[in-house]
Structure 1
Amino acid sequence: MTWLVTGGAGYIGAHVVRAFREAGEPVVVIDSLTSGHPSFVPAEVPFVRGTLLDGDLVRHTLVEHDVTGVVHLAGFKYAGVSVSRPLLTYQQNVTGTATLLEQMAAADVRRLVFSSSAATYGTPDVDLVTEQTPTRPESPYGESKLIGEWLIADQARAAELAGSELAHTSLRYFNVVGSATPDLYDTSPHNLFPLVLGMLARGETPRINGDDYATPDGTCVRDYVHVADLAHSHVVAAHALEAGTPLEPVYNLGSGDGVSVRQIMDVAAEVTGVDFTPDVAPRRPGDPARIVASGELAARDLGWKMRHSLRDMIASAWEAQQAHAG
């Protein structure tokens, strides 16, 4: 069985591709390279450069490579930027997903693992986010991911009415960090880890936005998960769909406890050997004190667990950053 990984030349997608290869599964990649890198795709993996908005290209790829399932990670992923670019966000994330679903149906591809986002929850008013926490997205990005989930669920119902099926699940997660191998690294200009480590590499001082929150050390607490753990669960979900194992429509891939920005800074100093005291700036408007998700449901069905410590996350990210800088 061949799996198509959309966005497979990106940071997370490339790790999912490697995880499939390590499991002995054939895989093909579609990526527009808007934010992906061709060097992230192993030489032995077929790579199709293009956008999901090109339905003919998607259909041709599905048929030519005899694809039986899709892991859908392609999309515009910058929540903050999506506020100023909503039309681009909806085009890439909603229209792109609808086109993919249309071409999957035409090619009789009946399995889908969707990379969703914890941005669908917005700013939840609970100590621990579960799959039952109400979804209240606060950005076009979060809205587009939630609409993607709706599209998939609606298409699955339509397939059932037509006497077919679309077996699917959606994985929601917050901050993905670290690296499974130094040649794959986070190149986002917006994520905390590459920002902090890049500043340390350049001899600059990272900044904490607010240290007066109602948390143990006064700084914001967030969920951070290692990209290798995340990739592994995507493959487990794909295997479950292949086997016909019933899955929930949505799973949170959460840490259950989270870490603070201050903790990240402290461990970054230890790992990099750069002795620094972060600058403290005022709070950013809208930053909640704590957002952490439970991963209990995913642990039950997908073998989800945090296999890497915060030190592992930062050390692997730093190694990759140094390898890239060199």
Structure 2
Amino acid sequence: MGQALSIIIVDDMQFSRAVMRSGLLKLGYEDIRLAASGEEVLRMTSERYADVIIADWVMPGMNGLELLEAVRQADQERDWYSAFILFTAKDEQHAMLEAFRRGVDDYLIKPADPDELAARVYGAGRVAALHNGLLQTSNALRAANRELLESNLIDNLTGLGNRRYLEQRLQSMLRYAHEREGAVCTVLLAVDHFRRINDEYGHDCGDEVLAGVALRLRNSVRPTDVVARYGSDTFAVAALHAEPGHAYAHQVDRLVQAVSAPAYHTDKGDVTLSASLGAHVYRHGAIHAPLSDVLHGAEQNLAAARQAGRGRAVCT
């Protein structure tokens, strides 16, 4: 249960630190560091991050809330989040609202009940894991966007890769499927009658909708799938599948549904739309098709879908 957490206990009373450490060891936590002051905690975290910090509120020198502010500032500088539990006496409970306003994640009353200690530390570990997971994802996206910008491969409006980026990634997928295994599904998805949205709500609203479509597409596919802006109202999804027979099973309907509903909330009000989709699949073992043929196949299927009406999909 969370034994991998890095925990720091800080209290100016040695006995209090020892009791807390003993309780955590019984719960299965192993990476526990002890500190007698806030300054010592800051030195520790500068050497190695902590997932959870349990700090006494009242300490000589730097008190618990002052340490909290220093930890938050240091965490911000190094893109990390340490969950912070304040260790307090009962007569300090009236001040806990202020502590929460200043960023504390949880608190414990002295002396800590073993079950309460287990619950608070477990919860704090989850908070830290959530924040740090989001920070890692955000940093990865920023790094990817920097790379795209440097290579002129990003669409400035949506933050997705542009058509040039799609073609580079799709070419690699097709080569892999041809030489090794699997199948590549190339999807083109277009917002139906997008010009009407611009005419009725304005181009700023239209841009909001396109950014919303991009976000929904990105959230509807696997992290390894490629999502790009293909044209003014058209997006592309390229996916490499291990099973050639299931290259676009369930994916097409999911994409159309994700983009079409619910309504998009914009500064001009809610905007509803539908989307048409054309997909082309290249499977391992088929005659090698150049990139232009694959894209042309998806474009033809998209045109057939749009001609058939709103919200249609054609796949081959």
TM-score (ref. length: structure 1): 0.31
Q: Which has the higher helix share?
A: 2
Higher relative contact order (CA 8 A, sep 6+): 1
Higher strand share: 2
Which structure has the larger Rg over C-alpha atoms? 2
TM-score w.r.t. the length of structure 2 is 0.32
